[in-house]
């Protein structure tokens, strides 16, 4: 009975990721044709905050996942993401499953210099962390 439960939990996890990716695509405003985020959140039963984190990222979550000392882990995950996208996996699904902001993936795909886009994002999010820490002190 235990293997069935594990398979079922694994299946539920994949469904949640697919649902989050669908919500990101519904909320994405590339051509001004997106739905309001609160409506998307209601339709997909996901919080507006979670959709915004999947779209734009979250500084605290980013720091926990990738650290602040070096961008190497972040760069490794981005490389894996881009490889999966090249293999035909949907960009929103890749972004959500790797906890990379979907807008960053889009910016990288549309850039002549993807490494610079990634570096700028890393430095911007780290600078935001430092300014928040300074405000608390």
Q: What was the pLDDT predicted at 97? A: 93
pTM of the model: 0.79
Please compute the mean of the pLDDT values over residues 26-49 and round it to a whole number: 82
Separation between Cα atoms, residue 80 and residue 100, nearest integer Å: 11
What pLDDT is recorded for position 31?
59
Q: What is the mean pLDDT of residues 26-40?
A: 77
Summarised one tens digit per residue, pLDDT across range 42-99 is 889 999 999 999 999 999 999 888 887 788 899 999 999 999 999 999 999 999 999 9
SS3 category, 100? coil
CB-based contacts of 100, cutoff 8 Å, min separation 6: 57, 77, 78, 81, 94
pLDDT (mean) for 130-134: 51
Helices (H) and strands (E) in the chain, counts: 8, 0
Please tell me which residue, 70 or 137, carries the higher pLDDT value: 70
Q: What is the pLDDT of residue 2?
A: 45
Please tell me the predicted confidence (pLDDT) of residue 112: 92
pLDDT for position 84: 96
């Amino acid at each position: 009975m235990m293997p069935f439960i594990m398979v079922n939990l694994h299946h539920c996890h994949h469904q949640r990721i697919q649902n989050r990716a669908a919500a990101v695509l519904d909320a994405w405003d590339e051509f001004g044709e997106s739905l309001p985020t609160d409506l998307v959140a209601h339709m997909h039963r996901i919080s507006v905050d979670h959709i915004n984190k999947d779209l734009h990222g979250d500084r605290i979550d980013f720091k926990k996942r990738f650290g602040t000392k070096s961008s190497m882990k972040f760069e490794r995950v981005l490389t894996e993401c881009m490889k999966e996208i090249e293999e035909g996996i949907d960009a929103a699904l890749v972004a959500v499953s790797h906890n990379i902001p979907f807008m960053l993936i889009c910016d990288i795909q549309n850039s002549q210099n993807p490494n610079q886009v990634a570096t700028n994002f890393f430095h911007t999010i780290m600078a935001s962390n430092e300014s928040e820490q300074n405000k608390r002190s």
